[in-house]
Homo-oligomer: A and B are copies of this chain.
Amino acid sequence: MGKNRDLFTFKPSNRIIFFQLQYMHQYTAVDLQDTIVALSTPQGVGAIGIIRLSGPNAIHICNAVFHNKNLLKQASHTIHFGTIRDEGKIIDEVLVSVFKAPNSYTSDDLVEVSCHGSPFILQSVIRLFLKKGARLAKAGEFTMRAFLNGKMDLSQAEAVADLIASETASAHQIAMQQMRGGFSKQIEELRQKLIDFASLIELELDFSEEDVEFANRQELVSLVKEIRTLLSQLMQSFKLGNAIKNGVSTVIAGRPNAGKSTLLNALLNEDRAIVSEIAGTTRDTIEEVVNIDGIPFRLIDTAGIRAAQDTIEAIGVEKTMEKLRQSAIAVFLFDVEEVSLEEVQADLENFKVKEVPFLLVGNQIDKSEKDYKTAFAPLGEVLFISSKDQTNIDVLKQALKGMVLDQEVNTSDTIVSNIRHFEALQQADQALNDVLNGIEMQLSGELLALDIRQSLHYLGSITGQVTTDDLLGNIFGRFCIGK
């Protein structure tokens, strides 16, 4: 049995045991005795396709259709060449990798079958395994088993999905750090200390008539403050983490001749080569992504906006305004030569640009002969650029970054990028604040214990010490099949 199935590693009073049981998920719902199978490589035609089998019968099921040697007698972490046969008929020549419990990804016996990458063959082999007693794995079920078997904690398991989805160096680094332990170790250490305090306070309750204090209130205050400092750092990192993970949707708006496309190209300039090199990373949208110091900005071009002349134009303008409302930030671009101060002011007003954080950018200063700085001074802060000459494009990039982040980006710090973690941190912090207030107000041990339990719950939900079936379903449902 893995450690996560045994939640009670601390020496608790009966009351805390009872509390934790309410949050313990129903392990019986997931039958860990099944052997699961899935295609673990992407769909489609390739040189190699890998089929994964995990569970008590994984090696046995594979051995039943594998011809060349007896897989049951092979050492862990060895590879074997042979054929997969269905009633004597060869389906494929394969390499089978054998991993024995507990030294596998899932901690169960695990087999990886490396086939020729033909969808027909892969489908045939999977069907054969199903016939021999395996069942199709659900999304993320291999990783869920790794978690349930204590191979990794919940935040590490979640990082596996983030790692696979990562498209930039920064997102990759955050996910990698989290997968290798990241902040969960720190949280777990402090949580253990808090559990010890909780136990002492619960003990006081058993001796309540005698008015003893086993738990030193001053030490508890120090511990709670220490935990809150960590939580605060982690919560602060979320803004960056979220931007890195999900990108910042950035609308570029302006009149038809403001030079939006040239600006888009100028911003994309250095990145475009890299983007096109990594096949399969670009999504099916019209967005372009520019990477500014590790933060992906999803640039959304818009049709030029101006007062609508007819119905069709009105629809275009409405669409642009919708994009504006949905974006995190907006860049409003105008041609310093072609438009007047009043026109820019009117546009900002008409198109409700001010409803989102926006950057005002005067373009085409290369061809302007007027004193544009003075002319547009009433607008407040305006960034003047020439997308044609690349003048101030770097300044614009830094301004974009500045709109997302107040501080410098330092991705080697521990960074929280998961909204579920962020919310759990916030709630734990709130509960800990209640604990502090309670001590100050000299609340009874019983009420203090309640707030501590709340904090423990939220902290534990990050690493999976306390979970629910729904939560697990949500988390592992995000995974691809075969992981």
- Chain B residues with CB under 8 A of A123: 277-278
Determine whether the beta carbon of B45 is less than 8 Å from that of A41: no
Determine whether the beta carbon of A280 is less than 8 Å from that of B45: yes
Cross-chain contact of A78 among B79, B116, B280 (Cβ < 8 A): B79
Determine whether the beta carbon of B164 is less than 8 Å from that of A47: yes
Q: A172 near B: Cβ within 8 Å?
A: yes
Binds B, one of A90-98, A229-237, A421-429: A90-98
- Chain B residues with CB under 8 A of A172: 91, 118, 120-121, 124
Q: A430 near B: Cβ within 8 Å?
A: no
Q: A32 near B: Cβ within 8 Å?
A: no
Determine whether the beta carbon of A482 is less than 8 Å from that of B78: no
Report A424-483 residues with CB < 8 Å from chain B CB: 479-483
Q: A80 near B: Cβ within 8 Å?
A: yes
Q: A337 near B: Cβ within 8 Å?
A: no
CB distance from A168 to the nearest CB of B (A): 7
Report A159-217 residues with CB < 8 Å from chain B CB: 160, 163-169, 171-173, 176, 179-180
- Chain B residues with CB under 8 A of A164: 45-47, 116-118, 121
- Chain B residues with CB under 8 A of A281: 119-120
Q: A380 near B: Cβ within 8 Å?
A: no
Q: A261 near B: Cβ within 8 Å?
A: no
Q: A319 near B: Cβ within 8 Å?
A: no
Smallest Cβ-Cβ distance to A79: which chain B residue: B77
CB distance from A223 to the nearest CB of B (A): 32
- Chain B residues with CB under 8 A of A42: 41-46, 49, 117
Q: A377 near B: Cβ within 8 Å?
A: no
Q: A66 near B: Cβ within 8 Å?
A: no
Among A40, A45, A48, A49, the one with the most B-chain Cβ atoms within 10 Å of its Cβ is A48
From known contacts A44-B42, A44-B43, infer whether A116 and B163 are also in contact, taking CB-CB under 8 Å.
Answer: yes
Q: A227 near B: Cβ within 8 Å?
A: no
Q: A142 near B: Cβ within 8 Å?
A: yes
- Chain B residues with CB under 8 A of A166: 118, 120-121
- Chain B residues with CB under 8 A of A112: 114
Determine whether the beta carbon of B45 is less than 8 Å from that of A165: yes
Q: A286 near B: Cβ within 8 Å?
A: no
Smallest Cβ-Cβ distance to A164: which chain B residue: B118
CB distance from A125 to the nearest CB of B (A): 11
- Chain B residues with CB under 8 A of A89: 173
Determine whether the beta carbon of B119 is less than 8 Å from that of A480: no
Smallest Cβ-Cβ distance to A50: which chain B residue: B48
Q: A279 near B: Cβ within 8 Å?
A: yes
